[in-house]
Structure 1
């Protein structure tokens, strides 16, 4: 695959935080997500909406979620390239 000069090398380019979080919840469930990333919005009455609000305000937590997403995608042999 060739990249044009305007394409991004960011593996998360074009993926919204909502999509990323939804895919992680679908893959791990809220309990599994809370086990991997220890933040209250995943443990106490979790929802996509409340988690997105927290993650958008909390850079370190967002970074952990993005890293888990990338690890999950990298280790998934069924994921399309």
Structure 2
């Protein structure tokens, strides 16, 4: 019997993939404007942002919400 497909748009997507897609689409300058967190505004990198977001639930939630809003544009 097949497993039912998930209706969750975040199912199976890693935080690293989310961050890489958002950075490629917006760049860190715009990400820093959309979500005002230090890891996007002060010497940003994927690695440092991942470290911060993995430890900080409220910031990760904001990034995930932005990703969901941006997803239709990424797939266009």
Give the TM-score taking structure 1 as reference length.
0.84
| Number of matched pairs | 75
Structure 2, unmatched stretches of 5+, are none
Higher fraction of helix: 2
Alignment of 1:7-18 (within 5 A): 7-18=5-16
User: 3-state SS of the aligned residue for 1:21?
Assistant: helix
**Pairwise CA RMSD of aligned residues?**
1.5
1:26 paired residue number: 24
Which structure's relative contact order is higher, taking Cα pairs within 8 Å and 6+ residues apart?
2
Following TM superposition, where does structure 1 have runs of at least 4 consecutive aligned residues deviating by more than 2 angstroms?
4-9
